[in-house]
Amino acid sequence: MKTFIPRGYESLLSIYDTQKAISLLKRLFEDRLGALLNLYRVSAPLFVAEDSGLNDNLNGVERPVSFDILRSDIRAEVVQSLAKWKRYALKRYNFRPGKGLYTDMNAIRRDEDELDNLHSVYVDQWDWEKVITREDRNLSYLQDTVRNIVAAICDTQDTMQAIYPQLQSLGKLRREVSFVTALELEERWPDKTPKEREDAYLRENGTAFIQGIGGALRSGKPHDGRAPDYDDWDLNGDILVWNDLLGRAMELSSMGIRVDPASLDKQLTLAGCDDRRTLPYHKMLLAGELPLTIGGGIGQSRLSMLLLGKAHIGEVQASIWDEETMRICRDAGVMLL
């Protein structure tokens, strides 16, 4: 989808009120998420050493932004997400089962090829990770965590609409989560693309968690790409909601129960990534030296965009856009930050 501004669209908040609302929204959501999941705020890196294995490889083809450090043999990479760093931090900070951390993650996705209403070169999200027990590595625990995240989102929306009554015209997000597997979506709509399946399902259900992302489906293709070394592909998924303004499904979170030594061993082979076994992080994980965890990322700009009724992600974050996007938004009276 290219940049699309709905006919007759006008921002419900002025630029100044938008900035105030974003700040409030973030504080409200962080507090609620931390309370429901028992998470504590920590500081996080903007970059990590290239040879540490701590950077997120995403789909395995995206190029991280890298640079050398003066008078050092260290080469650093700007993080693409903190999926691996968080798990390592939980070990270093001696977190116990039932407790976790959250942090601000800022990334640069130089190879983002879908610059549109929802996608930007700049990515900001709440990255969170929580220590669990072996008994927690099951679908029920995953789904309960999803429900708590959706509750935090809906609670934040309720408060924002009480403070800014004009936002009440957006209606309410559906609190009840519909759970479906990527395989079930493929079987129901075999002739549709994964994104078209998401749109069809979310149009019907409002709020959903699509489970089982990363592994090949019966078609031989995965629903979406997922690195083999953080989520367990059998115990992960995406939280999506229906965005009525844009008329499409909107992903808010990618998350899951993380790989244990056995699932990492299996997924590295399936993904053809056995070379990663020699990296420091992966060696620790395969040796069982890292805690069992669940975690994910929740898009800050996307959540702000959704709850404030914005048509383009550039209305809530400062990034770089191509000339066509800027022209479309300018012609429609949309202010990109």
- To the query of whether residue 109 is one of the catalytic residues in this protein, the response is yes
Catalytic residue among 125, 211, 253, 267: 125
> Catalytic annotation on 289?
no
Given the residues 32, 87, 109, 248, select the one marked as catalytic: 109
224 is catalytic: no
Residues 6+ apart with CB under 8 A from 221: none
Closest CA to 145 of 200, 100, 94, 89: 100
Sheet containing strand 122-131, edge to edge, reads: 39-41, 100-108, 122-131, 293-299, 248-258, 231-243, 207-211, 178-181
> Is 238 a catalytic site residue?
yes
- 68 is a catalytic site residue: no
The verdict on whether 253 is a catalytic residue reads no
Catalytic residue among 11, 80, 81, 254: 254
Backbone angles phi, psi at 305, to 5 degrees: -60, -45
Of the candidates 238, 267, 301, 315, the residue annotated as catalytic is 238
Residues 100, 128 contacting (CB under 8 angstroms): yes
The residue from 30, 56, 136, 232 that is catalytic is 56
Inter-residue contact 294 to 148 (CB < 8 Å): no
Q: Residue 252 burial by CB count (10 A; 0-12/13-18/19+): exposed, middle or buried?
A: buried
Burial class, 324, CB count within 10 angstroms (exposed 0-12 / middle 13-18 / buried 19+): exposed
Query: What is the four-CA torsion angle of 251, 253, 254, 259, rounded to 10 degrees?
Result: -160
> What is the set of active-site residues?
56, 109, 125, 238, 251, 254
